[in-house]
Structures are given as C-alpha cells and as structure tokens.
Amino acid sequence: MQLQDVLFSQGFGTRRVCAGLIQYGHVHMDGQPVTDAALEVVASSLVFEVDGAEWQYYEKAYLMLHKPASTECSRKPSAYPSIYSLLPAPLRQRPQKGATQGVQAVGRLDQDTTGLLLLTDDGQFIHRMSSPRHHVPKVYEVTAKHPVDDRQLNRLLEGVTLDDDPRPVKAAACEVAGERLLRLTLTEGKYHQVKRMIAAVGNRVEGLHRASIGRLVLPADLAAGQWRWLSDADLALLAP
C-alpha cells in the first residue's frame, strides 16, 4: 500500500493533501522523515508520525469516549458543543463509502448525560451494538430527585408503559446504590428511556451516567472529554 494511501485512509485529507504532507517532510517513520509519497509499506500495524503526533494504522476505527456533560452527540449541535470536537481531525475525516465521513457515535447520550460512548466507522458494528435484537446490556448510574423505594424498584423490574409504545419496557436489572442512587441495566435504547422510565414510577432523574456497555466498563483513568482506541481485549468484552 502506498504511504499516501495509508494517510488518506486514516483521515489526513485528500490523496493530494496526503502526498503533499509526505513530500514536504511532515511525515516520519522510525524517527526519520519520509518524502516519497508512493513508498510501498505494509499498512498492518504501521506506526508513523504526522507533524510530531504518533499514529497507528487501523483498517477500522473503534474508540471509547468519556462523554462530558453539556455536549451533544451531533455533528450539527444546536445548543452545546459537539462530542466530535473532542476528537482529532483525522478521526472526524476518515473516508467512508456511501456514508458521512469520520467515526460515528454508536447510539446517543443526551446532552446532560455523561459516561461511556463508543464511536466507529464500522457500520456492521454500529448495527450489532445498537439493535435491540442483540440485547447488549448497558448499565446506567441514576441520581433520582426523590428517595427510591421498593415499589419503584419492583415496577422498573416488572415493566412500565411509555407513551409511544403500548408494550411495557423493563429493566434487565436494577439495584439501589444509595438513598437516591440506582444502577439500572437496559438492553434496548428508546428515546430518553431512562428518564421516562423513572418518571413513570413517580420519580425524576437529576443525574445520569452510563457506566458500561456489554462487559466493557468505562475506565476510571479516562477523564471526561478524553478518548482512546479500543483494544482487542476491549472488543472481546463487547462480543455477544
């Protein structure tokens, strides 16, 4: 694979722009500048630098982001900054066939909801993780306005009816973590589902944080607003 094609596939611009980056000395390999845009390289596991920033070649991008509050999961946000502004430009520009450029969020979190968010340019992965047919569990830490009692807990486990669906929706698991704290596990992702379920049992969400998806837990050392690549071990925790 030509080096200019590697850079293009990783989101560094058009092939012409990528060729220019190489020819003008912006790209280094093994600590040395490379100026031949047509240089043939083995893309798999290739590590290179662009303007001093280290990058590794990934055929598909799989990321986790610790979504901070007051951000929107939209490329065209209406009131708050976009989560995509937290990512470096190449991840926002990775080329895709027949799709919007760049990585996409796997589902959405409300602007005031924090926690684990996955992003990728793999459409099949997005479908598998988002489809209710696959029952991928997601754990939310809920801060309620009022104390949570056994009646509310039992109703969440038995199922509540939301205004847009006559079929009851229920938590896969629910445990009290404090007087006003709940850990709620869901396997589907309806619009504002947690907030609507809590409202349906006579309470109100005042804080919402997604702690895990599948068996993948948001790392304690990943601060709000930070992202990292998913490792093979991370992806295994998301497998059915």
Dihedral angle, C-alpha 195, 224, 212, 81, nearest 10 °: 50
SS3 226: coil
Give me the residue label for tokens 């926690």. 115
Of 110, 150, 163, 221, the active-site residue reads 110
Asked if 234 is an active-site residue, the reply is no
CA distance linking residue 168 with residue 151, whole number of Å? 16
Cα→Cα distances 78→12, 85, 123, Å:
27, 14, 25
Nearest CA to 238 among 153, 133, 134, 121? 134
59 touches 77 (CB < 8 A): no
Residues labelled as active-site residues: 110
